[in-house]
Amino acid sequence: MTETLGFIGLGKLGLPIAEKLMEGGFSLRVFNRTAEKATGLVAKGAVAVASPVETAMAGGVVVSIVSDDRALLEVAGDDFCEALGTGIHISMSTVSPVTSRTLAERHARVGGRFVAAPVFGRPEAAAAKKLWICTSGAAASKAAVRPVFDAIGQGVFDFGEDAGAANVVKLAGNFMLTAAIEAMAEASAMAEKNGVARADLLNMLSSTIFNCPIYVNYGKGIVNSQFEPAGFAIPLILKDMHLVQKTASDARAPMPMVNLLVDRYLSMMANGLERYDAVALALGAAEDAGLKWG
């Protein structure tokens, strides 16, 4: 495949992913709404361009990772699809499966190809080349861009040809992540009100039957009140939970836990906590129980 990639979106995850691609030998044409975020990459040889469409070279490959469905649909407009032509658009954003299917059609109309490739992992994981990548789309397209995935992640899981399938998995995983934080929070509040420190509870459980990254990392965050800086900010995870609700609703799949989680995040937004990390979800159950956090 081509050695030069287009790259759109230098957010909390986008930036370390772009860095890994450059370390992996790719040249980048980068676009970000806030141009200054590209400074470090440009110093290392990336070319900054002034619009999404300029990242695309006919028959080339563009990676996009932006904040939501609307941003992605704007970035990958008709002009972008035409510029990319028969190339491949790798979409790593957490968006609805519907948006991926829409984009797959948009690209197909001009002979182009679309691969959904949302990733699991916080910014630290991206910086350590430890993302997990979920893919869906045409098999040949996925095979063609495999070197991109190998440069940024520790593993790829494929979910078939339906462009939206990987997004379904990503949404399901983020829901499970959020449910896990809420469960830890409720358990911690109950324990603390019964004289057991949340540190003792969560350290025990996350080193035994829940010894996996989600419980270890978010458990540590809860124990140590690591609410800032936000690696995964409240407005983004609220957006994800809304996507879960919509995707479940469209498919007629009741998910009672999701509504509860959405309400927690709405309450955080209502109380001016937008800047906090997803881990701060734990404040809800604690405050409900009248606990002073500390």
Query: Site residues (CB under 8 A) for a second copy?
Result: 97, 120-121, 132, 134, 155, 157, 159, 162, 164-165, 168-169, 171-173, 175-177, 179-180, 182-184, 186-196, 200-201, 204-205, 208-215, 244, 247-248, 251-258, 260, 285, 288-290
**Of 10, 14, 57, 13, which is closest to residue 35 (Cα–Cα)?**
10
CA distance 179 to 174: 9
The residues, any chain, with a CB within 8 Å of residue 123's CB and separated by 6 or more, are 12, 13, 16, 231
170 is catalytic: yes
Specify whether the CB–CB gap between 113 and 138 falls below 8 A.
Answer: yes
State the nearest-atom distance from the C-beta of 155 to a second copy, in Å.
7
CB atoms under 10 Å from CB of 132, counted, come to 17
* Closer residue to a second copy (CB): 4 or 159: 159
Task: Name the amino acid, one letter, at 27.
Answer: S
* Closer residue to a second copy (CB): 48 or 222: 222
Cis ω for the linkage preceding 229 (within 30 of 0)? yes
State the nearest-atom distance from the C-beta of 231 to a second copy, in Å.
14
State the nearest-atom distance from the C-beta of 168 to a second copy, in Å.
4
* Closer residue to a second copy (CB): 110 or 187: 187
Specify whether the CB–CB gap between 232 and 124 falls below 8 A.
Answer: no
CA distance 283 to 21: 37
Q: How are beta strands 113-116 and 131-137 bridged, if at all? A: antiparallel
The residues, any chain, with a CB within 8 Å of residue 160's CB and separated by 6 or more, are 136
State the nearest-atom distance from the C-beta of 156 to a second copy, in Å.
10
Active-site choice (142, 170, 220, 239) = 170
* Closer residue to a second copy (CB): 21 or 177: 177
What token pair was written down for 180?
Answer: 């896990």
State the nearest-atom distance from the C-beta of 162 to a second copy, in Å.
6
* Closer residue to a second copy (CB): 73 or 172: 172
Specify whether the CB–CB gap between 263 and 166 falls below 8 A.
Answer: no
Catalytic residues: 170
